[in-house]
Amino acid sequence: MTFLGAFALTLFAGAATGIGGLITVLKGNPGDRFLAGALGLSAGVMLYVSFMEILPEGISQLEEAWGKAGVWAAVGAFFLGVLIIAGIDRLVPEEVNPHEPEMIGTPSSKRLLRMGVMTALAIGIHNFPEGFATFLSGLEGATIAIPVAVAIGIHNIPEGIAVAAPIRQATGSRRKAFTWALISGLSEPAGALIGFLVLYPFITPATLGLCFAAIAGIMVFISLDELLPTAIATGKHHVAVYGVIVGMAVMALSLLLFL
């Protein structure tokens, strides 16, 4: 596949977050049930993909490079990712930190806005190496690249919902909700371009493995410390849990059908 073909597939996969944002924007007056379900769904997607795809990929890359020691390195990188995001969380002033238990009940607009932006940044960080991986598979051939791009596109849709839902709820702006959802996905083609121009000569299975494992740790922490508590704070506990299960199922089906 040509450079342009591989990049087009990466752009398609990343832009699917915009579909999730569009779903949120078109939905009339999303309330607590929708917010709880959307955040729970995103947590389910992030937890499932972290434990079933990203961390195993990191272990595989590192084990190939370093043998048995690579497995230990992957586990260490996973918890390093947890410590990094937890440290960042602790450095944020308490009065603006959405993780602090400032309320019981519906989250405040400030907390929801920060939640949406933080989720967008987290997804963007995750999508950056994912975009580079999609691009590389495209250069290898369409047989591998098309199923990978479709699978990534499918699981990017609920990620877009998770970004857009709290931002729309907080600001009332459909445009801002859609824009942030789309931006979070466009880090994938950015990852493809930067990876190709700058990182490609230095990328090894070991460095990729460490990155994947650390990203998995970051995503798990965000799901457990940010997405789920906020979903439950809406007062729709069961809806939030159902969203987690649906998110896991969507991610599982996308992997089973297309990978």
Sign of dihedral through CA atoms 224, 227, 233, 236? Answer: negative
188 appears as a binding residue in the annotation: yes
97 appears as a binding residue in the annotation: no
Specify whether the backbone of 172 is left (phi greater than 0), alpha (psi in -120 to 50) or beta.
Answer: left
Cβ contact 255:151 at 8 Å: yes
Which residue stretches of the chain are H helix? 3-26, 32-49, 55-66, 68-91, 109-140, 142-171, 174-194, 205-222, 228-233, 237-258
Interatomic CA distance for residues 183 and 175, integer angstroms: 12
197-200 contacts, C-beta under 8 A, 24 or more apart: 199/132
94 appears as a binding residue in the annotation: no
Interatomic CA distance for residues 163 and 165, integer angstroms: 6
Q: How many residues does the chain have?
A: 259
User: Cβ neighbours of residue 27 under 8 Å, at least 6 residues apart?
Assistant: 34
Q: What is the CA radius of gyration of the chain?
A: 18
Tokens 């073909």 belong to: 5
- Please report, as a single letter, which amino acid is at residue 247: G
95 appears as a binding residue in the annotation: no
Binding residues for Fe(2+), by number, are 127, 130, 156, 159, 188
Task: Return binding residues.
Answer: 127, 130, 155-156, 159, 188
Provide the annotated binding site for Zn(2+): 130, 155, 159
